[in-house]
Amino acid sequence: MTRFQVVLRAIVLGVGAVAFLFPFYYMIIGSLQKKVDPTLAGAIPEPGNLTLDNYIAVNERINLLTGLVNSGIFTGGVLLGTVVFGVLVGYALAMLQWRGRSATFALVLLVQVIPFQLLQIPLYVLIARDYGLSDNYFGMILPFLINSTAVIIFRQYFLQLPKELFEAARIDGAGEMKLLWSVALPLVRPALVTGVLLTFIGPWNEFLWPFLITKEAAKQPLAVSLANYISNVAASTDNPFGAALAGAVVLAAPVVVLFIVFQRYFVSTDLGSGVKG
């Protein structure tokens, strides 16, 4: 690669990075402004126009810590169900031979084309009326316990694993759970990280379903509290623009941190490293 190509690549990547990061930077700067400056000039604010008052105003109305804890409980429950059931179902669809496997996978694909919004009313009736799980964390988590996207991701990764590894382990007397835990999972770490991140973003930002299940402010996730705040309260504050951005920063921060922590795992595993030849 010539020096010109290296410089050109650096320029293109630099411009792309600035274009990608600028909205996040502008969101943070806007959340710190005393007086609204929605122009591009507001991206470089005067130091005297920066304050934490917008965050304080949001916290006084909705209690950010309580919202974050509720979001953590809701999202953590969804993640646990997604990983456990996604891995088990994905492994069964990829590695085991059983009657109805193809039909089951076809149903998993079919679920992908059905919008969740179409199912919300019957699910609400089932969970809130029939199961009596309104105003309950489990009522919020239950519809998301099994994620069809995660099942497909895990299945596709398991299909790429060398069959020789499993045959050798079976000869040594390993059962299917031992194969899954000791052979398959260590080789599909990128799939686990991908499944966790994709699943995390959905429930973390979900506000309609938890709002339907519980009207108690003490149990509502942060996305629900912020949606109520922005639609009903923010307009009456001294700086509605800054208050809305402050809430958006608090909601987005955990997602950004999670991605930064796990981004190094987005690499391809050498699936054939355990096979000679």
pLDDT tens by residue, 177-197: 888 888 888 888 777 887 788
pLDDT tens by residue, 241-276: 788 888 888 888 888 888 877 776 655 444 444 444
pLDDT at res. 265: 65
Least trusted range by pLDDT, from 56-60, 69-73, 224-228, 262-266 = 262-266
3-state secondary structure the chain: CCHHHHHHHHHHHHHHHHHHHHHHHHHHHHHCECCCCCCHHHHCCCHHHECCHHHHHHHHHHCHHHHHHHHHHHHHHHHHHHHHHHHHHHHHHHHCCCCCHHHHHHHHHHHHCCCHHHHHHHHHHHHHHHCCCCCCHHHHHHHHCCCHHHHHHHHHHHHCCCHHHHHHHHHCCCCHHHHHHHHHHHHCHHHHHHHHHHHHHHHHHCCHHHHHHCCCHHHCCHHHHHHHHHHHCHHHCCCHHHHHHHHHHHHHHHHHHHHHHHHHHCCCCCCCCCCCC
Complete domains list, the chain, with CATH: 66-265 (1.10.3720.10)
pLDDT at res. 75: 92
pLDDT at res. 234: 62
Least trusted range by pLDDT, from 162-166, 171-175, 228-232, 234-238 = 234-238
Mean pLDDT of the chain, nearest integer:
83
Average pLDDT value for residue range 216-245: 79
pLDDT at res. 236: 66
pLDDT at res. 267: 54
**Cα–Cα nearest to 33, from 24, 23, 46:** 46
Average pLDDT value for residue range 21-38: 84
Q: Count of CB atoms within 10 A of residue 52's CB?
A: 11
Give percent of the chain with pLDDT exceeding 90.
Answer: 11
Least trusted range by pLDDT, from 28-37, 97-106, 129-138 = 28-37
- 134 pLDDT higher than 90: no
Average pLDDT value for residue range 132-141: 89
Higher-pLDDT residue of 234, 180: 180
pLDDT at res. 76: 92
- Looking at residue 167, its amino acid is E
Higher-pLDDT residue of 102, 38: 102
